[in-house]
Every structure is written in structure tokens, then in C-alpha cells.
Amino acid sequence: MTQTVHEPSVETLIQLLTPEGERRSHAEYDRYIQDVDAAMLRDFYRDMALTRRFDQEATALQRQGQLALWVPLRGQEAAQIGSGRATRPNDYIFPTYREHGVALTRNVDFPQMLRIFRGISNGGWDPRENNFHMYTMVLAAQMPHATGYAMGVQRDQAGWDAERLEKEGTAVVAYFGDGSSTEGEVHESMVFAASFEAPVVFFCQNNQWAISVPFHVQSKVPLAERAAGYGFPGIRVDGNDVLAVLAVTRWALDRARRGEGPALIEAVTYRMSAHTTADDPTKYRMSADEEAWVDRDPVARLEKHLRDNNLADEAFFEQVVADGHEMANRVREEAMAFPEPELAQSFANVYAEAHPLIQEELKWHLEYEAGFAENTEEGATR
């Protein structure tokens, strides 16, 4: 028998923890966080703090020329930790290029995430080890992959009864941003997911900016409202509230596992830093716009809740800072020690098997490189 689940109104922004750190009750979603105790809250804080520290270190590495590019996430930690911690190990995650916090919840090693940004790998980790897919640099390219994977999961689980689906069922989470929401791949993915009732949760981190384009230009209505057009529920949540994000993501994943189809979550948050380290946000937004979101900072919000309710002492916060510095030092040391592959290896990554045109280009490249060595030797003998 299918369990009746309340389908939320998109007119309401779900919030369980106010910007002042006060716990707010919710008749529908409190039951999804009944297991959250003081220890779990401290773990959430630690996750967010370490993610922010990693982001800071990676940004510094890029500024020092050690990374080709970096994609900051400051301000979006609650959206990522809350949703990531809502998943089960057998769920499969399709990220964009900014889900560093989600990666932490899937036990992806931070230093390995820098390989792609250092330009020495097309990935950096094996997605089969933690069900966390490779980063996708092309906007929305991961969306059809997520829907297709979910349709495959659905076929693998065909014939399972309700009890087994609830206990062992796999769901898929597809992350995307408000900028990607206007890409055709998003529309096509949602059409297919709705048509086949695929077990996929579309998780949009609406950070208000598609690089330099503000959200009000991207859409005249909340993104969650678009779900109705596809025939599945949409929900808006305070993306800076880790508890609310955890609750609504659990809700969406539960219904997906039961075979009730996809859902769209719009996590309303704010990108406190640049789109990437190649971007200068001062060119397109005012500092007052950023300052308006400072009081909604997700890390500070949870810290205030922990302190005000005596759920963590000063020693805990000091230890988190120390752990962050230790992690950052390890990240830097390992990143600086990455081996640098020969450029010729890039030619072997184009096709699965040797290709005559690529072989010809490789030959030209090697001759070109050898010419520099010869000129150096000639100069040394003069």
C-alpha cells in the first residue's frame, strides 16, 4: 500500500532553523529530522566548517598558480551538507563542478578533487567507490545522465515489493544551479523522469547568480513552480538552513525510492564569492547585495544554534578550527606532490584505440618539442 505523502506548496519556503539560530517547528517536516541529536548537529557544523576551509585553501592554491581554476562554494555549505547527509551509500550522485561539500559526505578525499583543477586528470576519484560521479564542467550535461541512470535503477529494481524498495532501494540526486535551469538538457531530463517516474531528485542550488546574470532575469517565478508543468512536486527550502535541507531531501528521496517518481528541490541560497576564480563579481553586483546575505550565513547560523543551546563548548569549536588547518595543510602538500603527466599522454585519451590522425599529430608534437631541446643545446655550445 502506497503511503500518502503531503505534497508541499511552492509558495512556502521551508525553514527549520532561523538566521538567528532558533529552531522552528514544522508540522510536516519535523518527522524527517527526529533522529538529529546534538552529536549530529556538531557533525553537520564540522562538515560545513571543513568544507569552507577546503574552499579557502583551494582558492589560495589557484591564486598562487597551483591550480588552473577553482570553483568556490562559500555560502552554499548548508545546501550541500544537508542534502548530502540525507543520501544513503547506495544512492548515486551526479554533481556539477561546485559540490565539494557533497563530495565530503560521500567520502571523496579532498586532495584528489584538485586533480581536475590542476589539469592533470579528467577526474581524480573513482565514482564506483562512493557513488559520486565525476565533476561536469559543461552546464547541465549531467542531467540526462542522472535521469538515464535513474531509469536504469528502476529497471534493476523491477519486481521489488514496497518493503524492499524502502529498505534497499536506490535513488539518484542530480545537482544543478539556477543558471543551468534554462538549459535544454534540464527540460529534457525532467520530461523523461516524469514520463517514466524515475527515482531521481533534481536538486537546484539557486545561488541567485548565473555568473553575472541575476536570478530575476533567469526566471520570473520560483524554480520549484516549474515542477508542476512536468507533473511532479516541487519544493522551496531555505538553502542556508542545514536542517531544513536535510528534511526536504529525505522527503524527496523517500518518495523516489517508493516508486513515486521525481521531485524538484529549489534550495534558496547565495554565492558569497566569485562564480569561479576567473570571475570578478564586483563588475556586476554591489557589495550591499552581498552584505544583505551575511546575516544568513549557514555556518554562523548553526554555530549560533549550538552555542545558544549549550550543544557545543568552546573546546569543540577550537578543535574544528585545528582540524581545518590540518586538513588544509594535507591538501596543499598532496596537491603540490601530484606527478605531472607528460603532455603526450593527452593524445592517448582521445580515442579508446590508436587513431592514425592522432598518431600523426603526436608525432608532430614530439618533433616540435625535440626542436626546443636541439636549440637549447646549440645555444650552450656557442
Give the percent of the chain with pLDDT over 90: 87
Contact 320, 327 (CB under 8 A): no
- pLDDT at position 345, please? 82
Mean pLDDT (the chain, rounded)? 93
pTM of the model: 0.92
- Res 155: pLDDT: 97
For residue 326, the one-letter residue type is E
Q: Which residues of the chain fall below pLDDT 50?
A: 1-9
Dig out the grid coordinates for 338 from the structure.
Answer: 601530484
What is the amino acid identity at position 264?
A: L
Contacts by 30-35, CB closer than 8 A, 24 or more apart: 30/247, 32/246, 32/247, 32/248, 32/250, 32/251, 33/243, 33/246, 33/247, 33/250
> CB of 103 within 8 A of CB of 54?
no
pLDDT of residue 88: 98
Identify the pLDDT of residue 81.
98
Q: Give the DSSP H or E segment for 176.
A: strand 172-177
pLDDT in tens, 203-261: 999 999 999 999 999 899 999 999 999 999 999 999 999 999 999 999 999 999 999 99
CA 84/CA 72 separation, integer angstroms: 18
- Position 376 scores a pLDDT of 58
What is residue 169's three-state secondary structure?
coil
